[in-house]
Amino acid sequence: MQGDRDDSRDPAFVIVTGMSGAGRSTAAKALEDLGWFVIDNLPPGLLFAMAEEAGKVKLAADKVAAVVDVRSLAFTTDLNAAIEELEGRGVRVRVVFLEASDEELVRRFENVRRPHPLQGEGRLVDGIARERGILREVRANADLVIDTSSHNVHELRNKIVAYFGGEDRPGLRVNVVSFGFKYGLPVDADLVVDCRFLPNPHWVPELRPMNGLDTPVREYVLGQPGAKEFLDAYEEVLKVVAAGYAREGKSYATLAVGCTGGKHRSVAMAEQVAARLRDRGMEVQVSHRDVGRE
């Protein structure tokens, strides 16, 4: 049974995939800099052969990764079959999916003046749409989804290092991100909570220029009725969720905390959520997506 499996002792094999232009090459280079053995643009059908060959030359079992893309028409079928074969041989597979908005992908392709690999005789947006359709199932089943829409190459590299720089450390790794609902939900969020039930510091003149990292704003938000009760309740929910993720072998989770503009309430509350998770011994990083956007 899956619940009886000791994931901590299984070798790990990371598959990096996702949208063309979303940063697969940057992720691969970051893993290589961390000492990983990485093969780029590997057809899904060769994943098991690569893992087997890596074992023969005694590469670290938890430092092997492959970057695969969608150019094979049978991509989804081939990738699912490869993952099943690897897991059937006792290899713990982790799939990392890199995502970006259509607008950002168009901008990136236009900057480098290259066609999309699935564009054919159509438009750039046609290739992107086709790729999204092919990758829908892969994205849904990925262990880690990273939205690179607002990341430059250095920020993406730092995120990869944060996730994979200490693979020997056990337990769930959590990214807590604050955001503003008016700018859209983070597409890589596993869980989303809404802090708009709290009074908005935006309407307090002396607090409006500040953000949730500033002490006056933090004290104002945390001092509101319901703030502590929410944090206490959400901490209990996350305790249950984290245990379930561990049973399912999920190593990474992104928790999104939102308010209207992503500047005051969500920032202060995200910092508190992260602090409570760290107190429980979890490895946590925090980012504030929309601070400074107004």
Indicate the annotated binding residues: 18-25, 69-72
Residue ranges for the known binding site for GTP are 69-72
Residue type, 25: S
Contact predicate 13/50, CB 8 Å: no
* Three-state helix/strand/coil letters over the chain: CHHHCCHHHCCEEEEEEECCCCCHHHHHHHHHHCCCEEECCCCHHHHHHHHHHHHHCCCCCCCEEEECCCCCCCHHHHHHHHHHHHHHCCCEEEEEEEECCHHHHHHHHHHHCCCCCCCCCCCHHHHHHHHHHHHHHHHHHCCEEEECCCCCHHHHHHHHHHHHCCCCCCCCEEEEEEEEHHHCCCCCCCEEEECCCCCCHHHCCCCCCCCCCCHHHHHHHHCCCCHHHHHHHHHHHHHHHHHHHHHCCCCEEEEEEEECCCCCHHHHHHHHHHHHHHHCCCEEEEEECCCCCC
Residue ranges for the known binding site for ATP are 18-25
